[in-house]
Amino acid sequence: MAMNPDLRKERQTASFDTELLTNILDGGADRTRRRRELEALVLNDPDFKHEDVNFLSRSERYELAIKKSALMVMKLREFGIADPDEIYWFKSFVHHGRPEPLDLHLGMFLPTLLTQATQEQQDRFFMPAWNLEIIGTYAQTEMGHGTHLRGLETTATYDPATQEFIINSPTVTSIKWWPGGLGKTSNHAIVLAQLHTQGQNHGLHAFIVPIRQLGTHEPLPGITVGDIGPKFGYDEMDNGYLKMDNFRIPRENMLMKFAKVEPDGTYVKPLSDKLTYGTMVFIRSIIVGDAARSLARACTIAIRYSAVRHQSELKPGEPEPQILDYQTQQYRLFPLLAAAYAFHFVGAYMKDTYRRITADINDGDLREMPELHALSAGLKAFSSWIANAGIEECRMACGGHGYSRCSGLPDIYVNFTPSCTYEGENTVMMLQTARFLIKSYTQVSSGQLVSGMVSYLNDLPGQRIQPQQVGARPATLHINNPASLVEAYKLRASRLVEFAAKNLQAELNRRRSKEDAWNRTSVDLVRASEAHCHYGVVKLFTAKISEIGDPATRAVVNNLCLLFALHGISKHSGDFLQGGILTDAQITQVNQRVKELLALIRPNAVALVDSFDFSDLFLGSVLGRYDGNVYENMFEWSKKSPLNKTQVHRSFHKHLKPMQAKL
């Protein structure tokens, strides 16, 4: 079929080369080439039949995912793909970005073995797990506790007589609940449990627990395991439950790279309790990347469809305009497109920072760990909240057809939304970031300098150290200069951190306990964390612009960065006014400039989503097809509905006809 004329015109009139921007997003032309090679391996492989999962039952979707995962593992070996990024790409192409039953085996079980197991344990477990004789999951969350890890109830009690740990689920609420791949796929789990030895509880530790018989896959005696049932999405994933009744494992199955239990039961504590933060930081950086990708997919669908869809009249008697020409549609979609770009660059920055700092940690240098932990927690929450709301906004911007599963948008939403909860519930994550901000504020108040992303606190007026005294308001706000907007966001963050810190102190002065004061200030603390993260994202997005060599590409990314920053000021104008950072007149100017930027971005909107370089198969959307032939394909798609297998459904003869005969 020919290309839709509207989309052809949009692509011809773009002011920049999409290929150059794709290379920037991928981190270089070589990486773009390699990513496409891997995608072609999947697309051109007859073994990967690409069924439309929308017409399958949950059991069929799970089985298809298992089939593809098993094939995927074989192909990874066959093609010699071993680089973590390349495995991630290949896996995404095979499963079209959907969750799959081996996610936790590949994403949590294997990495935890690598980072927390001793050499002896790696020799024993890693190769069998790499070869999938052992299929593992990560069993942390329980029915009664998730993010609050200290509340977990599963126990691991050491028995020196047999040199075994007795793993037990003492209550209904202690049953492990939610781990992906636990229900039907895994035969081992890394179980987090409270370690008891010599009459003392030493807190949470990780244990390798076999749960199913190798070969037969039957649950082991003392193990109750199964699937938790249908969920909002994640139909391919067998999220499971696990109940352990005084189940014994050898002492050597406790992950002992950092903490140890000696044969006689003596507990040897780790050098630092922050060493296991690494895995969390890594996973959270991946979630920021996922937020960028999921929001980018939703924007691609909504923006292409908005260029194809014609509706209503701008002027009587004239042809119906593309809905992308309506300013209200641009205002809904372009700030989200800008956020997708922002989060992409932030995710890449976090991954690089993680790699850099991991090298320091291995050398015993933990100085940057607290900041990285706080930043990753906050950015995980900030990006997933915005992406989650943004995906739904994109669905609604597609009108009625956005509600059809053929749009691909319901699927993107239900599969992304759990990331607001897993790996740390977002509000709790923001409060973790706030702890670090308050600690930093307290340090500055007592005359110390702080470094890194919180160094703006050194400039607070009224602090003893004032290396560069900052007035209440930036002398002039340059509305077209991202660096000037970074300053405005920095002031907003420092004001809100100071506001929360002073409110916290006021609660403490009322003789409240530390915990009570914290709870009574928590709304202010979350706002301070959000402002800190917002500043971080604007700062990192702005820094990226100067790295872009090609002037045409730099200009279009600069407009996105300005829109992201100015739209944020417009949405949070109260903070900027109340903090004395911007005047009334400046806010009016900001709102006007946002509308001007929408018009500037409009001619490049389709090219900007094309630069994400999603194949039609990966996008999985009739509305977002590259060729724009939406309506013909929507009709073809609907014919595949199982309800259309017969002209007359059996319910007609069974229920409707007898009723008609009686009435």
Which tens digits make up the pLDDT trace of 123-167? 999 999 999 999 999 999 999 999 888 899 999 999 999 999 999
Q: What is the pLDDT of residue 366?
A: 72
Q: What is the pLDDT of residue 14?
A: 98
CA distance 18 to 16: 6
Contact 112, 279 (CB under 8 A): yes
CA distance 360 to 369: 9
Task: Specify burial of residue 456 (Cβ count, 10 A radius: 0-12, 13-18, 19+).
Answer: buried
Nearest to 13, CA basis, from 324, 333, 317, 326? 324
Q: What is the pLDDT of residue 178?
A: 97
Q: Are strands 188-197 and 136-139 parallel, antiparallel or unpaired?
A: parallel
CA distance 323 to 311: 6
Q: What is the pLDDT of residue 241?
A: 98
Q: What is the pLDDT of residue 461?
A: 63
Q: What is the pLDDT of residue 471?
A: 45
Q: What is the pLDDT of residue 273?
A: 66
Return the active site residues: 423
The half-sphere exposure of 419 on its side-chain side, counting CA atoms within 13 A, is: 31
pTM of the model: 0.95
The half-sphere exposure of 382 on its side-chain side, counting CA atoms within 13 A, is: 32
Token code pair at residue 663: 């009435």
Residue type, 533: C
CA distance 40 to 34: 10
CA distance 147 to 547: 38
Which H or E run includes 274?
none
Q: What is the pLDDT of residue 103?
A: 95
H helix intervals, 398-512: 409-416, 426-445, 482-509
pLDDT < 50 regions, the chain: 463-471
The residue assigned the tokens 């006689």 is 264
Contact 11, 607 (CB under 8 A): yes
Q: Are strands 247-250 and 188-197 parallel, antiparallel or unpaired?
A: unpaired
